[in-house]
Structure formats: structure tokens, C-alpha cells
Amino acid sequence: IQERTLVAVKPDGVQRRLIGDVIKRFERRGFKLVGMKLLKANEGILAEHYHELRRKPFYPALIHYMTSGPVVAMVWEGYNVVKTSRTMVGDTDSAEAKPGTIRGDFSIHISRNIVHASDSVETAQREINLWFHSSELVDWDCCD
């Protein structure tokens, strides 16, 4: 079954010029890009996005970090893309992230972990609707 997921390069990933590397990994794996934009996220969208974390002690720092620079929000489509993306991104805690994963290759700290990927099909749907208008998503097929 074809799924979609939200992947976002966080401000540290943008600042470190890792956008292309992240995109390359998803393309190479075989997923299809159906939406992408560079934006400075405001607190409203982040409050929605991180609603479940609002009472965590690190929440204020998380919002500060996520508003410190632009993010690149993307929607990727393909077979099992939600679960596979999480595997490609690696463990939330960079110290646990295996080499070969995005975090395992580029991050040393849980609070500067380069990239976001939706954690379930339901969350993905919610996050895609939050970050994108349906008109910003492109249904395309070619060469198949």
C-alpha cells in the first residue's frame, strides 16, 4: 500500500547544508517526493506539531531551536514509507542512532538531530495536513 509521510530537515540540518544529503537518501531508497518547501516555522504550527511534548521540560528549548532558522518540509510517498523513514532517520537519541542512519551519520545530540519523520501513519496524515495545503502536494507519475 502506498503511504505518505512528513520529513523535515530541521534548522541545524539546513544550517549545516545537509538538505541535499537528506533528499538524496530518500530518492536513492526509491521514494517519491510529492511536496517540498523551505519556511521559517512559526510557534503556532510548532505548538500543533509538538502538542504531545508541550509539558516536557525541554519543550521551550525545542521551540526555540525549531524557530532559530528555516526548515525544509517534505512529503515523501511510497511503500511502507512511514516505517522505513524512521529507520533511515535513526534513533531520536543520536548516541543510540546507528551509523548509516541520518542521525547516526550527522548528529551527536538529541536536541540537534537534523531531521524529523512522522512516527505513524496516523501522525503522518495529521502532520502533512498541518504543514501543507492539499494544493501544494503534487500527484505525479512518469516513466513507469
- Which amino acids are annotated catalytic? 116
Which CB, 68 or 140, lies closer to ligand CMP?
Answer: 68
The torsion angle over the Cα atoms of residues 124, 34, 76 and 7, rounded to 10 degrees, is: -70
Distances (CA, A) of 123 to 2, 98, 102: 16, 24, 21
Known binding residue 56? Answer is no
Distances (CA, A) of 75 to 39, 95, 99, 127: 14, 27, 24, 10
Known binding residue 58? Answer is yes
Q: Are 113 and 58 in contact (CB under 8 A)?
A: no
What is the per-residue binding string for ligand CMP in 78-107, x denoting contact by CB under 6 A? Answer: --------------x---------------
Which DSSP state fits 9?
A: E
Q: How many helices (H) and strands (E) does the chain have?
A: 7, 4
- Residues of this chain, 28-57, that bind ligand CMP according to CB under 6 A: 53
Residue 116 as a binder of ligand CMP (CB under 6 A): the answer is: yes
In the list 23, 33, 45, 62, the residue contacting ligand CMP (rule: CB under 6 A) is 62
| Number of amino acids touching ligand CMP (CB under 6 A) | 8
Q: Which residues of this chain interact with ligand CMP, rule CB under 6 A?
A: 53, 58, 62, 92, 110-111, 113, 116
Task: Tell me the binding residues for ATP.
Answer: 10, 58, 86, 92, 103, 113
